[in-house]
A and B are shown apart, each in its own frame.
Chain A
Amino acid sequence: MHRVYKHFGPDQPALAGVDLAVTHGEIFGIIGRSGAGKSTLVRLLNGLERADSGTVIVDGVDMADVSGSALRTLRRRVQMIFQNFGLLSSRTVAQNVALPLRIAGADLAGIDGRVADLLHRVGLIDYAGKYPSQLSGGQKQRVGIARALATAPDILLCDEATSALDPETTASILALIADLNRELGLTIIVITHEMDVVRQLCDRVAVLHNGRVVESGLVSDIFFTPAAQETRALLTDAGADGAMGIAFPGRVVHLALEGEALAEPVLTRIARATGVDFTILASRIGHFRAGSVGQFTLGLSGGDQDAALAALADQGRVRE
């Protein structure tokens, strides 16, 4: 659906040769510390920033080719929400939500109804006449979301959308974003520095460090078997690196089990059949957007280890 490649020259260290492809309808996370280039990256997708070299393709459109009114039309399909919400303090909630419709030249008669629908969708219909300064942070972000949805975009960019919110409010905003993805089929790109946001919300994630993607893949894989040192550091910050194993003299495998396999005595059954002894070096159950995933780091000793690995691979995902 849209494929994003961008390469920046060596004189522009914000992004240095980033390759990413985001699939239609997924929630894709981009995580990194401040200064990693996340905000620059996401701003390439709506033309707020331009790549020095390389290509950025959004929804089939090469961003290098669009400017003027074509760019403005594209921006209506790629909306964005912000860390500090970006609401206009001089306009009421309803007027804020109506703004993109007015800019898009929507029929004035239809705007009120559309705004009411959108405010209903985010649960703020009673606040239509209030000014942003009268709202809480979570309510402001809901207005931001309603406003972003006004032009019925295909892609929603979330730039640290929950970083200014408390944990409870963050959870409710993340739930709302996940609902939108499910109900409207929105492709959502989430920029964050918080691993927890990625865990709750994203299907896949890319870890950005100093303008480079150091690792990318399924969220559950990256949580359990982070390959890059930067990823491990982020996980440590989030208190989520319990999966770091203890040293083991034999063969070590990482196993991820999902769904029914989690409720079955998988290990003992395979141990009995193959004669392999499993030592659990690390284990945890992670709750991800896709569901719960049990993740284990196992030490293998004795028996027919190749057969054991094959049997494990039947039940879940195995990495050595």
Chain B
Amino acid sequence: MTGVSGNLYWSEISRASLETLAMLGGSLALTILFGLPLGILLFLTSPGQPWASRAASGLLGFAVNLLRAVPFIILLIVMIPLTVLLVGTSLGVLGAIPPLVVGAAPFFARLVETALREVDRSTVQAVQAMGATTRELVLLALLPEALPGIVAGITITAITLVSFTAMAGVVGAGGLGDLAIRFGYQRFQTDVMIVTVVLLLLLVQCLQMMGDRLVRYFSHR
């Protein structure tokens, strides 16, 4: 039982890999869905922008900072009742997605806000001077111009989510992180630990490469 390859149950590992991918895909999609509009709002309500409002920008900023200040491991536990309410369980892939989204969306929103801020000011003014509505400004100018930055932000967020999914393993979410803790750490099965870490590394490496390639594709600067 203690042979070098004796601990490696490949079916376990492939199941855990699929769980990690499912958690990542689901939470990334929802993070973009919620984080992108939030980031746009953060930008538009900031001083000097079309919807500039100290109250709105202060409130949004505070909410985002609050969620970002809570350590993810604490968020996982605090969110359990809300998670059960939302998806019916706090366990497994499904139970992991709400805390992952709540943890990552504010982070992604800040990255979107930063990317929008990088758009050349005279470009924004030019489009406003054409008689664009704020909606047209966002859809026709701000988002296309900031797209490389936003894609880079998605890459960073996806990689952050990979490490979040590993942490979610602690509260029974499954996935590679769960495997690493239960077998690699608690049962001293070093080979399981090594395999999971290598797989996570491969995942991170792939995400970064894909992200970089997309940024290059979208960038015409």
A193 at the interface (CB under 8 A from B): no
Q: Complex formed: what's the CA distance from A132 to B219 in Å?
A: 12
Question: A48-B125, A82-B122, A133-B220 known; A88 and B144 CB under 8 Å?
Answer: yes
The answer to the question of B147 belonging to the interface, with a C-beta cut-off of 8 Å to chain A, is yes
Interface residues of A in 280-298 (CB under 8 A from B): none
Q: How far is the CA of A216 from the CA of B140 in the complex (A)?
A: 40
Which residues, 174 to 221 on B, are CB-close (under 8 Å) to A? 218, 220-221
Q: Which residue of B lies closest to A78 (CB)?
A: B129
Q: Which residues of A (140-167) have their CB < 8 Å from a CB of B?
A: 144, 147, 151
Contact across chains for A75 and B129 when beta carbons are under 8 A apart: yes
Is B69 part of the binding interface, using a Cβ–Cβ cutoff of 8 Å? no
Residues of B within 8 A of A72 (CB): 131-133
Known pairs A82-B126, A86-B123, A103-B136; A73 contacts B144 (CB<8 A): no
B interface footprint on A54-85 (CB within 8 Å = 1, 0 otherwise): 00000000000000000111111011101111
Docked complex: A102-133 residues within 8 A CB-CB of B: 102-104, 131-133
* A-contacting residues, B57-103, CB 8 Å: none
Cβ of B130 and Cβ of A76 under 8 Å apart? yes
Q: How far is the CA of A91 from the CA of B147 in the complex (A)?
A: 12
Contacts of B127 in A (CB 8 A): 86, 88, 99, 103
Q: B128 contacts which of A48, A131, A147 (Cβ < 8 Å)?
A: A48
B145 within 8 A of partner (CB): yes
Q: Is residue B141 contacting chain A, with contact meaning CB distance below 8 A?
A: yes
- Closest residue of B by beta carbon distance from A159: B122
Minimum distance in angstroms from B221 CB to a CB of chain A: 5
Total interface residues in chain A, CB < 8 Å: 32
Total B residues in contact with A, Cβ cutoff 8 Å: 21
> Which residues does chain A contribute within 8 Å of B221, judged by CB atoms?
89, 133
Kindly list chain A residues whose C-beta atoms are within 8 Å of the C-beta of B218.
90
> Which chain A residue has the least Cβ–Cβ distance from B128?
A48
Q: Are A89 and B220 in contact (CB under 8 A)?
A: yes
Contact, CB under 8 Å: A90 / B132: no
Interface check B120, CB cutoff 8 A = yes
Among B125, B127, B131, chain A packs the most CB atoms within 10 A around the CB of B131
User: Is A46 in contact with chain B by the CB < 8 A criterion?
Assistant: yes
Complex CA–CA separation, A85 to B126 (angstroms) = 8
State which of A80, A83, A84, A90 has its C-beta within 8 Å of the C-beta of B129. Answer: A80
Closest to A71 in B: B131
Contact code string A90-105 (vs B, CB < 8 Å = 1, else 0): 1100000001101110
- Across the A-B interface, the 7 shortest Cβ-Cβ residue pairs: A86-B126, A72-B131, A75-B131, A86-B122, A100-B130, A90-B144, A131-B220
Which residues of A are interface residues toward B (Cβ below 8 A)?
46, 48, 71-76, 78-80, 82-91, 99-100, 102-104, 131-133, 144, 147, 151
Show 30 residue pairs from A and B whose CB-CB distance is below 8 angstroms, ordered by the A residue.
Answer: A48-B125, A72-B132, A74-B131, A79-B129, A79-B130, A80-B129, A82-B122, A82-B125, A86-B120, A86-B125, A88-B141, A88-B144, A88-B145, A89-B120, A89-B221, A90-B144, A91-B144, A99-B130, A99-B140, A99-B141, A100-B131, A102-B140, A103-B127, A103-B131, A103-B132, A103-B140, A132-B220, A133-B220, A144-B126, A151-B130
